Structure 1
Amino acid sequence: MEQVRKLPIGIQTFEKLREGNYLYVDKTAMVYQLASASVPYFLSRPRRFGKSLLLSTFEAYFEGRKDLFQGLAIEKLETEWESYPVFHLDLNARKYETFADLTAMLNQYLERWELKYGTEKQDRSPEERFAYMIEQAYEQTGKQVVVLVDEYDKPLLQALLDESLLSEYRRTLKAFYGVLKSSDRYLRFVFLTGVTKFSQVSVFSDLNQLNDISMKPAYATVCGITKEELVRTFAPEIDALCVKYGESFDEILTRLTLMYDGYHFEETAAGVFNPFSLLNVFDGCKFDHYWFQTGTPTYLVDLLKESDYDLRLLVDGMEVDASAFSEYRAEVGNPLPMIYQSGYLTIKGYDREVYLYTLGFPNDEVRYGFLNFLLPYYTEVSSDATGFHIAKFMRELRNGEVDAFMERLKIFFSGIPYELSDNTERHYQAIFYVVFALLGQFVSTEVRSARGRADAVVKTQDAVYVFEFKLNGSAEEALRQIDDRGYLIPYTLEGRRLVKVGVNFSKETRNIDRYIVEE
């Protein structure tokens, strides 16, 4: 009987992974390279990208667990295997709804360390106790201390729009993390991870020696799975997908790439796949949107709603300089850094002459998952119902039923509560935009991202539909614009029916006022 290969879904502990004989994509050469220096590091990566497993790997390495690294790259690199005292703080395991929640989490770890190294200062502030523990661990063991902090920003993200609570969290964490600078002489290695970098200025202002490797090419693939690693480690699982879907190895690899690849954390670096999604595809032998099933990015939605950000800028990519997406703060007026750092956008290109990055959705899982997730917040259509609506829209266009499509769009808009709409052109444009972008799951679609293109183009097997929308204008005006600007010209040689749809949207009724269909 063939032995079942064990996929490490949800396994975040290196010891458990290795002792349980789970499949492992070997990142230990980079672990050794990082650990060889006594530099304090910071790494920002999206959720479910393997940050916790990376820190657990460092923990095992600095505890001298040579037995766990047999057969891995680091086994040929490390000769000493020294053991150091390790303080591993994981802030991901709790909801931080009040200041007491953060205090309780810090106390939980401090009390555990104090049982080992002394309780003499247990009545002092968290930062004093932390500093004392580091000093005592050094003096009692004769070895410098290793500090690992996982998801340093979890409390801050949960208080993002509560300025009072956010201020308390910042003050406490700034003092706590500041210990890592004042205790430098006692420290062998420091590594902090998080989803975002927005709090660096305020929270880490005293820790200015941090080496931020989030966008450094040498470590761009330290989390995530490259295509080479995918094929080398998971070929049998890819073969199983080939059998199920009746496709070749290369065809399945292409599907996996479109759905889950495309994260670039530096402009020249190889793309990486989302490891959580890949493992779940292999486990269930089924393509699906797994990353979005693990939790809703409510902090990001709150920020987008507060900012009235133009969602149309996201779909086809945008050019920005580095400061636009990597700055160390979150602002209601500019949610782009948070969108990027949270994994919903990634680097898709770089123009060296003008120093501009192109940001876009990394893959189809993120594109459609993100848009499906956002639609209820703009329309109050439930996420369960969204797929039903979009599928209906798609079927009507495939059948050439433009009138039915437009009537369904009217019903869709009539169901949006008045209080959800700010009655601005951008709000309605965003809703149109998301609906047509979601159609891209089923048919080829384009939505306008630059001057000179129609608002939306939908291609079915038999026809090309070109839509132009006006707000408080006229359907005739929309139709004339399609002709005057030659929106149909790029599609004249495709051999399909060309259908023009001019639509006027009434600001007063908050719905489609009139539309005209012409072939």
Structure 2
Amino acid sequence: YLRFVFLTGITKFSQLSIFSELNNIKNISMDEPYAAICGITKEEMLEQMGGYIERFALSQEMSKEDTLLKLQEKYDGYHFTWPSPDVFNPFSLLNAFEDGKLNSYWFGSGTPTYLIEMLRKFHVLPSEVGHSMQAMAASFDAPTERMTTITPLLYQSGYVTIKDYDKYTELYTLDIPNREIRVGLMQSLLPNYLAYNTDMGLTTIGRMYGAIRLGDMDGALRLLQEFLSTVPYCDNTNYEGHYQQLFYIIFSLFGMYVDVEVRTPKGRVDVVMRTADTLYVIELKLGKDADAAMSQINLKNYPERFTLSGLPVVKVGISFDAEVHTLGDWLIEK
């Protein structure tokens, strides 16, 4: 005599996996009327949590407007259909109000061991998580027990969310929802690239961030060189892609824009990073000197691709020493 049953969880299973006779479920996961049923929208927060916002702004010594921008950057950005209101992660938002801090609450509530294992199983690189993935709804709103790609798990467990939809191709664009998820995920992937010396690595990355904020890329690279020379090298490091992914993770932990294999009219740039006032074009070489990396940047005129950014472009050519598994030398040109 059940009159109403509401099933919810982290991942979706086929109906026959739950009960053999449960054959008339209505799946509302991507229905527009229910798009904000399991989160907190900005409108709801402003209407019902005004006092919390004001207290949080005081604790952070920020204006209300800046506070809202910080909260959105950190915890907002979820969409479960398109169009959809922006939805905040309620667990993180409420904990932030309670503590008066912009901490990573949701990601800190558990270690995503299963996700890391699945990323390895499906050979997914850190730079491929999110990164404006395109897929049809059937590819990510699908039962996970028979998944053939990582996409359903990433979407249903909250590591990527819907960012756009093309009604003509019926393709959804998926990406990492906010800074809390991006930084937390990259911290979880970092041990694979630093031989599990993660604590020392995070300290080094924090110091690198301080140097780059001051425009001292040379100082940041010296810190990384010194750190990598003190840790045991990981397996499968004798190819440029390993170091490319390491840079992607490090720059993602800075909270800055970063991309790899960026297309230009004459080739692909290994790494592009943008700070508030500078755009870095970085070429990596394994077993070759920094002159070879810088020559490639100049020969293919990579900076021309980024002139419309309005930011000064700094060229960085980096050599990695294959024998000692750390940075060899580098050149930096404005």
Q: TM-score, normalised by structure 1?
A: 0.57
Aligned residue for 2:144, secondary structure, equals coil
Structure 1 stretches lacking a partner, 5+ long: 1-143, 146-187
- Match among 5, 9, 24 for residue 209 of structure 1: 24
Give distance in 2, aligned partners of 1:317 and 1:464: 21
Alignment match, 1:447: 259
Cα distance in 2, alignment partners of residues 358 and 432 from structure 1: 25
1:268 aligned to which of 62, 83, 87: 83
Once the two structures are superposed, the pairs formed by residues 358-507 of structure 1 within 5 Å of their partners are 358-415=173-230, 417-418=232-233, 420-421=235-236, 423-440=238-255, 444-448=256-260, 450-452=262-264, 454-459=269-274, 463-489=278-304, 490-491=306-307, 494=310, 496=312, 498-507=313-322
- SS of residue matched to 2:258: strand
When residues 459 and 266 of structure 1 are mapped into structure 2, their CA distance, relative to the original with a 3 A threshold, is closer
Which of 51, 59, 67 matches 1:252? 67
* CA deviation string 1:434-469 (max 9, x = no partner): 1122122xxx44322642263333455665432111
- Label 1:324 to 1:474 Cα distance change in 2 as closer, same or farther (>3 A): farther
Deviation at 1:234, TM superposition (A): 0.3
Deviation of the 1:363 alpha carbon: 0.9
**C-alpha displacement of 1:231:** 0.8
User: Counterpart in 1 of 2:169?
Assistant: 354
Q: 1:336 to 1:460 in 2, by over 3 A?
A: closer
Judged with a 3 Å threshold, the aligned counterparts in structure 2 of structure 1 residues 236 and 465 are, in CA distance, closer, same or farther, namely same
CA separation of 1:284 and 1:493: change in aligned 2, threshold 3 A: closer
- Contact between 2:194 and 2:201, CA under 8 Å: does it hold in 1? no
Between the aligned partners of 1:421 and 1:311, the Cα distance in structure 2 is 15
- Kindly tell me: are residues 225 and 495 of structure 1, through their superposed partners in 2, closer, same or farther at Cα, counting changes over 3 Å? closer
Equivalent position of 2:116 in the other structure: 301
Alignment-mate amino acid for residue 353 of structure 1: Y
Task: Say if 2:289 and 2:318, in contact at 8 Å, map to a contact too.
Answer: yes
CA contact (8 A) 2:237 2:243 kept: no
Shift of 1:243: 2.4
| TM-score computed with the length of structure 2 as normaliser | 0.86
Q: What residue in structure 2 maps to residue 310 of structure 1?
A: 125
2: CA distance between counterparts of 1:209 and 1:237?
A: 42
Letter in 2 for 1:448: V
Which position in structure 2 is the counterpart of 1:88? none
- Bigger Rg, structure 1 or 2: 1
Cα deviation, residue 380, structure 1: 3.3
Give 1:160-309 correspondences, 5 Å limit.
188-197=3-12, 199-200=13-14, 203-204=17-18, 206=20, 207-309=22-124
1:218-257, CA deviations, whole angstroms, 9 ceiling, x for partnerless residues?
2121111111111111001111122233433222112111
8 A contact 1:303–1:332 mirrored in 2: no
What is the SS of the residue equivalent to 1:244? helix
How far apart are the structure 1 equivalents of 2:314 and 2:115?
38
CA drift of 1:295 comes to: 1.1
CA–CA separation in structure 2 for the residues paired with 1:334 and 1:378 = 23
Distance 2:174 2:311 in 1: 34
CA contact (8 A) 1:325 1:336 kept: yes
Structure 2 alignment gaps of length 5 or more: none
Instruction: Please give the per-residue CA displacement for 1:293-343, whole angstroms capped at 9, x wherever unaligned.
Output: 211121111211233212212253222222332231357862221111110
Matched, 1:511 2:306: no
Structure 2 CA distance for aligned equivalents of residues 518 and 371 of structure 1: 29
Q: Secondary structure at the match of 2:120?
A: helix
Q: How many residues align?
A: 329
- d(CA) in 2 for partners of 1:336 and 1:194? 17
CA deviation after TM superposition for structure 1 residue 433, in Å: 1.2
Change (3 A) 1:323 1:427: farther
How many angstroms apart in 1 are the aligned matches of 2:233 and 2:199? Answer: 21
The correspondence for 2:137, drawn from 322, 332, 343, is: 322
AA in 2 matched with 1:451: R
Distance in 1 separating the partners of 2:276 and 2:4? 59
Identity of aligned residues (%): 38
The Cα of 1:387 is off from its aligned counterpart by 3.4
Residue among 154, 158, 162 paired with 1:343 = 158
Separation in structure 1 between the aligned mates of residue 45 and residue 257 of structure 2, nearest angstrom? 30
- Kept in 1, the 8 Å contact 2:262–2:272? The answer is no
Matches within 5 A, 1:77-156: 144-145=1-2
Query: Which deviations, in whole Å up to 9, do the C-alpha atoms of 1:152-193 show, x marking residues without a partner?
Result: xxxxxxxxxxxxxxxxxxxxxxxxxxxxxxxxxxxx233222
**CA distance in 1: counterparts of 2:23 and 2:328, whole angstroms:** 58
Report SS of the residue matched to 1:301: helix
Per-residue deviation, 1:381: 4.1
Structure 1 Cα separation of the partners of residues 144 and 277 of structure 2: 49
| RMSD of aligned residue pairs (Cα, Å) | 2.8
> The residue matched to 1:232 in structure 2 has which SS?
helix
